[in-house]
Amino acid sequence: MLPYSIATEYMSCDLCGSNDQILMYSKIDPITGREYHVVECSCGMAFVNPMPTEASIPALYPEDYLKDKNDLSSLYGRMLELLPQCKGGKLLDIGCGRGDFIRHASKHGWDAEGVDLLAWDTPHNAPIRVGDFTTMDFPGAGYDAITAWALLEHVRKPSAFFERVSRLLKDDGVFVFVVSNFGAPGMRHSCTEDIPRHLQLFTPKAIKSYLNKYGMISRAIFHSDKIYSCYPFGLLRYGFQSLRKKERHCSSYENRSVALLRNRQIRGNALAWLVDVFRSIGPVDIFLDAVDLCLGVALANLSKIMKNYGVVTVVAISNRQKKSNPRKEDC
């Protein structure tokens, strides 16, 4: 049943170094079959602890992990809109996966390259380096833009990434990244995070602390689903557990209706999906799933209005840019 060998180790908080943590929830990972615990530090960062070791990280990702992440040209277009508009320049995409975004950026005038810890099957002839971004050499590098699309929650030590990005960024460069927001209503109280692929869970306050610590500031933090959407499903059952004062355990609840909805094989055929749902899930569970679904969607939309959405897009610049020209525009 357990095809992977994964070692774990206890970690201090990557942001503040503290060992003062409280248990938020536990979750059994369906991929590795192991239970993991999410803890919250007094500084606001949350993370998986004990955490998979560096050597164990590749075992967390099945070979088909990126299988659905193709043909996203409209998404890449929206990502490009976050970069300086006037011209291309040198771009580095960290955690580039198959290199789809690099290819898209190259077509639009950017001298783009990528780096990823793992080697994925790629259909492109894209310049991708495989290895640890925090330790590999970038001789003579100075990037106009560095991007990290849904990467930083996957790394064991975000501090090493922020530090490296700060060094590689030109004085007038931008660092654009998307990351899940553990401070959003519902995210702390649902089973949404992909544990343990998501190892570090940020809040906007923690993001700003990281940036400040490594010589950068946020120019903008967007709370929208323009790049990725995020719905806090699981709140209903999670709330029942809390009311009954049971230990909060995400794995005891799965919105099976939503799981079926996400099944790509029947996507687009509503009747087939409905038949499948009624055949495999009882009416009571369907009702609870439906209520849970409505709660998740309502809270996600409310959190956008409250500017505390479950996924945030951050545009950051170097402190050096602020000091040299505080009114400097993109072009």
List alpha helices for the chain, DSSP H. Answer: 73-80, 100-107, 158-168, 204-213, 235-243, 256-261, 270-280, 283-305, 319-324
Does 12 help bind Zn ion (rule: CB under 5 A)? Answer: no
321: phi then psi, degrees, rounded to nearest 5: -65, -40
Stretch that binds Zn ion, among 5-13, 120-128, 195-203, 293-301 (CB under 5 A): 5-13
Question: How many C-beta atoms surround the C-beta of residue 41 within 10 A?
Answer: 21
Contacting Zn ion (CB under 5 A), which of 8, 12, 34, 43?
43
Stretch that binds Zn ion, among 10-18, 134-142, 182-190, 264-272 (CB under 5 A): 10-18
Does 18 help bind Zn ion (rule: CB under 5 A)? Answer: yes
Q: Minimal distance in Å, beta carbon 288 to Zn ion?
A: 36
220: phi then psi, degrees, rounded to nearest 5: -155, 145
Does 293 help bind Zn ion (rule: CB under 5 A)? Answer: no
Q: Minimal distance in Å, beta carbon 45 to Zn ion?
A: 5
Does 206 help bind Zn ion (rule: CB under 5 A)? Answer: no
User: How far is 110 from 82, CA to CA, in rounded Å?
Assistant: 13
Does 38 help bind Zn ion (rule: CB under 5 A)? Answer: no
Q: Minimal distance in Å, beta carbon 39 to Zn ion?
A: 10
List the one residue out of 151, 187, 202 whose CA is nearest residue 46. 202
Contacting Zn ion (CB under 5 A), which of 41, 48, 201, 311?
41
Residues in 62-121 at the binding interface with Zn ion, rule: CB under 5 A: none
Please identify, using beta-carbon distances, which residue of 46 and 176 lies nearer to Zn ion.
Answer: 46
Contacting Zn ion (CB under 5 A), which of 4, 8, 12, 16?
16
Count the site residues for Zn ion by CB under 5 A: 7
Please identify, using beta-carbon distances, which residue of 159 and 251 lies nearer to Zn ion.
Answer: 159
Does 157 help bind Zn ion (rule: CB under 5 A)? Answer: no
Residue 2's H or E segment, with its range, is none
List the one residue out of 47, 41, 51, 52 whose CA is nearest residue 17. 41
Does 19 help bind Zn ion (rule: CB under 5 A)? Answer: no
Question: How many C-beta atoms surround the C-beta of residue 231 within 10 A?
Answer: 22
Q: Minimal distance in Å, beta carbon 18 to Zn ion?
A: 5
Q: Which residue has the tokens 């004062």?
A: 245
Contacting Zn ion (CB under 5 A), which of 15, 79, 165, 201?
15
Peptide bond into 139 cis (omega under 30): no
- Residues in contact with Zn ion by the rule CB under 5 A: 13, 15-16, 18, 41, 43, 45
